Amino acid sequence: MKIVIFILLLFCFQNMYCQELFVVTDPASNVPANSLGINVMQLLFKEQIKTGYNYHLMPEITFGLNKNLMFRGSAFISNRSNQLYTEGGSFMTKYRFFSSDDLQSHFRMAAYLRYSFNRADIHQEQIEILGHNTGVESGIIATKLIKKLAISSSISFEKAKDNKPNYPFPNTIGNNATNYTLSFGRLMYPPKYTSFKQTNINLMVEFVGQTINENGKSFLDIVPAIQFIFNSQARVDLAYRQQLFSSMIRSAPNGVYFNLYYTFFNLKK
């Protein structure tokens, strides 16, 4: 099977720190220092086990303490109970521990740690602490830029716990997993930068997979996306996630992402 891979060009913020911008995965770069990013992430996924669609609203706030350290807080709101219901939230920190920069290239590595709490029912074998499970995740990200080519990949370990107070984690399925991602993208417009106020259009594709460590059950998804950036601050993402294969039970693997992101630069002058 042939898969067309798109490539994302490096996009530079007004303070000249550069950062790759993907839709469903994080690069090794952080948000700029002393800046605040607000993301309204929305997901609409088709249910597999029952009819209908699963809607999630996941607002995020990200703060860049300095060029190497950032913090993020997220909330999880879902309509699984036939009304909007706040299920939980998460806290994440990411530290960039290696950076090798050149004029038209760089290589960066970062480590991150995320803790999530969730009170929703546990309804699938897939472990996903970003919206479904209580648990912890730690991982490493590597991002390489060569001229107009940006590639980012990550590997992480994720462990699920009980969704308190009413939903203990089932002892019939594995509670820990290894996650892996690979992301590419390309700047389609403009062909040449003349102003930071230019609208940018990026195409990208991301691969997201998981293996349950106790039984070897796995899945792999592909996420093609289009991204618009306005005035170097506002961002609109539209992506579709499609399961390529899976050997585990997943309640809603296929669906659409719609993100609205805005960055406030230079909070401390």
- Would you kindly state where each structural domain of the chain is located, as residue ranges? 11-264
3 state SS of 10: coil
Residues 6+ apart with CB under 8 A from 128: none
pLDDT at 125: 97
Q: What is the pLDDT of residues 84-118, one digit of tens each?
A: 899 999 999 999 999 998 877 889 999 999 999 99
Higher-pLDDT residue of 5 and 127 is 127
pLDDT at 60: 97
In this prediction the pTM is: 0.89
pLDDT at 82: 76
Task: Give backbone dihedrals phi and psi of 123, rounded to 5 degrees, phi first.
Answer: -130, 15
- CA separation for the pair 122, 75 (Å, rounded): 18
Would you give the DSSP letter of residue 68? S
**Which CATH homologous superfamily contains domain 11-264?**
monomeric porin ompg (2.40.160.40)
Q: What is the pLDDT of residues 110-163, one digit of tens each?
A: 999 999 999 999 989 999 999 999 999 999 999 998 877 789 999 999 999 999
Q: Amino acid identity of 259?
A: N
pLDDT at 101: 86
Q: CA angle, corner 179, sides to 201 and 142, nearest 5? A: 55
Structure tokens at 84: 């909007």
